[in-house]
Amino acid sequence: MSEPFSSAIAANRFGLGARPGELDAIGSGGRDWLRAQLAGAPPQLAGAGLRSSTDILAEALALRRELQAARKADAPGVAAADPLQRLPQLLRPIYASEVTARLQQAVTSERPFLERLTQFWANHFAVSIDKQFLAGLAGSFEREAIRPHVLGNFADLLLAAETHPAMLLYLDNHLSVGPHAPAALRAARRDPQRRIGINENLAREILELHTLGVGGGYTQPDVTTFAAVLSGWSIGGEGGRFRGGVPGQFLFRPELHEPGAKVVLGTRYRDDGFGQGVAVLRDVARSRATAQFIATKLVRHFVADEPPPAAVARLADAFHSSGGDLPRLYHALLETREAWDGGLAKYKTPSDYVLSAYRGLGLPADAAHAPLAPFELLGQRTWSPGSPAGWPDRSADWDGAAALMKRIQWAQALGERLGSRCDAVALAPQLLGANLGSATRTALAHAASAPQAVTLLLAAPEFMRR
């Protein structure tokens, strides 16, 4: 490690951006500061309005049934706009509470490396609020399925993510029915025209996006068979054919599950219902291809857009040889020499940019200060990647002209809000450390006003990157 950069790299590249005083406290011990953050259980979020996903989903499902019944009865008291409005009225405040709690945690955390890792995994197992109910579930998904497992084993993280109602809803598995499952056979006897059967969305994305990666050696028949394995992974409390179970909770429905032993990726799995899918997940979690895929993504996130192959190989070995032990993987990452050179190799995502500004300037992150707005204005509305691949992680995905202009305009608005309360000249070395260059130093020193200096600091090339 080149020592002068140790603290800036630890706080800005691995963490979520330096807070005043943090770089001094870290000194030349960047790696130790990060290692210490991996000890102890991950903190649980607290905050007003945070509810369990079961609670939220049960209420949303009940509301949907009510709306459907009203529509069917053409009940006169139900205004036409109601069905469109009442679900958002339920879900939107939940989303706002979750984003606020997540922001507050990110801004105040003494373990920002852990928070970045949590966000990394939430994006790896991405859900997106543009699908029905997900605006109300994306936050609880991250709190319940991701956060508790970030310092655990990948196989446990994987199972928690794939059995969470948010993921099952997002990738349509809750309605998937094996073609020879009891429910399908019954339905076919009643109405031969009506097809019910498999939906392969979740199975495909598990293999492509969550474990093996797109070149990871699976075929279309593997996808189809794996989807049959996962049939019956569902949610309690849906109506009609899907009644029963605890509303809003994961439910394995044997009557929807395709019976029989199945071969996925060359391995035969006997049918023991829910356990069949668990066994496939356990095996793909341990696959060499998964190790390679996860290592590549992690190195891309922390080292460079084009991951150095040697670094990827070291991380893949750590992942594979430890059986998916995530702290071992993170320690291997911290040992990666390439991550510690002084270059600002990563262009910040809008979220990175906003969080680092909040931490650096000590901005209030409570509900009274419009905590959702900066993410929306700068083009990365929280939990809305729009696709199960999650947000992209390369400079070219984020460095558009309009995107840059919005960052600068937002920086200007912050500068005007803070006025002379903020001394950007004094703050710059505290936020950028050894990365602070002479051009920026000079520009700040010659700024026409305190607000302008804040704008220039946040718009500086060194602050655009990490």
Partner 1 sequence: MNTRRQFLTHAAIAAGGLFCTTRLAFAGAAPAGGGRRPRLVLIVMRGALDGLAAVPPYGDRDYASLRGEAALRAPGTPGGALALDGFFGLHPSLAFLGQCYGARELIVLHALASPYRERSHFDGQDVLENGTPRPHALQSGWLNRALAHLPGMRPREAGVALGQNVPLVMRGPAAVTSWSPSKLAALDDDTLARLTDLYAGDALLAQRLADALAADAIAAEDGADMRSPMAAGDAARPRGANNARYAETVRAAAGFLRREDGPQVAVFDTSGWDTHANEGGAQGQLATRLAGLDAALATLRQELGPAWRDTAVLAVTEFGRTAAINGTRGTDHGTATVALLAGGAVAGGRVLADWPGLAPRALYQGRDLAPTLDLRALLKGMLAEHLGVATRALDEDVFPDSGRIRPLAGLMRA
Residues 205-224 that bind partner 1 (CB under 8 A): 208-209, 214, 220, 223
Out of 2, 28, 52, 85, which residue is the one contacting partner 1 (CB under 8 A)?
85
CA angle 67, 72, 76 (to 5 degrees): 80
By CB under 8 A, tell whether 309 contacts partner 1. no
By CB under 8 A, tell whether 125 contacts partner 1. no
Q: Which stretch binds partner 1 (CB under 8 A): 63-71, 88-96, 118-126, 152-160?
A: 88-96
By CB under 8 A, tell whether 80 contacts partner 1. no
Q: Which stretch binds partner 1 (CB under 8 A): 109-117, 319-327, 383-391, 420-428?
A: 383-391
Query: How far is the C-alpha of 206 from the C-alpha of 145, rounded, in Å?
Result: 15
**Nearer Cβ to partner 1 (150/181):** 181
Out of 55, 66, 130, 283, which residue is the one contacting partner 1 (CB under 8 A)?
130
Nearest CA to 103 among 318, 416, 371? 371
- Cβ burial of 441 (10 Å; 0-12, 13-18, 19+) is middle
20's CB contacts (< 8 A; 6+ apart) are 360, 362, 427, 430, 431
**Nearer Cβ to partner 1 (73/193):** 193
Residues 234 to 273: which contact partner 1 by CB under 8 A? none
**Nearer Cβ to partner 1 (153/412):** 412
**Nearer Cβ to partner 1 (146/183):** 183
Out of 3, 24, 110, 172, which residue is the one contacting partner 1 (CB under 8 A)?
172
Taking the complex as a whole, the smallest distance from the CB of residue 112 to partner 1 amounts, in Å, to 25
What is the DSSP code (8-state) at residue 215?
Answer: T
Asked if 242 and 175 count as a contact pair (C-beta separation under 8 A), the reply is yes
Give residue for tokens 């260059």: 437
Beta-bridge partner residues of 153? 325
In three-state secondary structure terms, 235 is strand
Taking the complex as a whole, the smallest distance from the CB of residue 319 to partner 1 amounts, in Å, to 22
In three-state secondary structure terms, 379 is coil
Residues 13 to 72: which contact partner 1 by CB under 8 A? none
Taking the complex as a whole, the smallest distance from the CB of residue 330 to partner 1 amounts, in Å, to 26
Residue 153 — φ and ψ, nearest 5°?
-100, 145
